[in-house]
Every structure is written in structure tokens, then in C-alpha cells.
Amino acid sequence: MAIETAPVFATTTVNGYTVRTTAASTDLSVSTNSLASPIILPSADAIENKKIIMGVEITAAYSDVAARLILEGSHNGTDWITITSIDTDTEPNTVEVKPYFVDLTDVYIPNFRLHFNSTNTSVGTTGNLKFFFAYI
């Protein structure tokens, strides 16, 4: 069980909102591995103390299991803690966009990341996803 990392975030602007989205991930090398987004730096993306949208877009289906999505924080970019559990079952076998409302009011931390399948459920190796978040 290991944590694999998704591709870097790209930036677009939609109706005045900054939208950051990764390219689709590659297949997991082991079915029980998890996938983390690149580090989100509040110094570059002003998400602290805000209510924002975060989520995943499943672009190729994983197995029909309950795969969890969480938001983590770190003081050093290496040691991570759970900030909030976003969804306990992202339904990774369904190809679709899965947006979630995340309240980061009064949350201040130097590093954030999204973490898919954080409980290392066997999701299979052939699924792919994109991480995204949007803020103003």
C-alpha cells in the first residue's frame, strides 16, 4: 500500500473563479494504493478560511467499492493529517464529476492535498481520475 501522486494542477478562470484541475491520473500500480493530489499551497491558492468546491472527476471507472476522499493538511509537506472527510464513498465505478462543498472557515495550514482511497480499499488498477478545486 503506497500513495501515488496525480499530475500537476493546471489553472483556468471560470466566471471570476480560479479553477485548478489535474490531468487524468495514470493507472495505480497496486489495486490497494491510494492517490494524492499535488500539494496545494495557500500562498499560491487562497483557500484558507473559505468555503470552496473540491472533488474528483472519475475519467475511467475503478472497482465498485467504497473509496474515501479526504482533505489533508501538513506543516512540512511530508507528514499529513486529515482536515476533513469529504466523502466516504465516491462511487469510483461511476464515470462522472463529483463536486463537494468543503468548509475551510478558520482553517490555516501551510500545505493541503486531496487524497483518494485513503483507506487503501482494493479499487483496482485500471481507473483514472482528475482532482479539482475552485475558489474566488
The string of pLDDT tens digits covering residues 31-66 is 999 999 999 999 999 999 999 999 999 999 999 999
pLDDT of residue 55: 98
pLDDT at 75: 98
The structure's pTM equals 0.97
User: Residue 56: what pLDDT?
Assistant: 98
Report, as ranges of residue numbers, the positions in the chain whose pLDDT lies below 50: none
Signed CA dihedral, 111, 61, 3, 29: sign only: negative
* pLDDT value of residue 61: 98
pLDDT of residue 1: 77
Domains and CATH numbers, the chain: 3-135 (2.60.120)
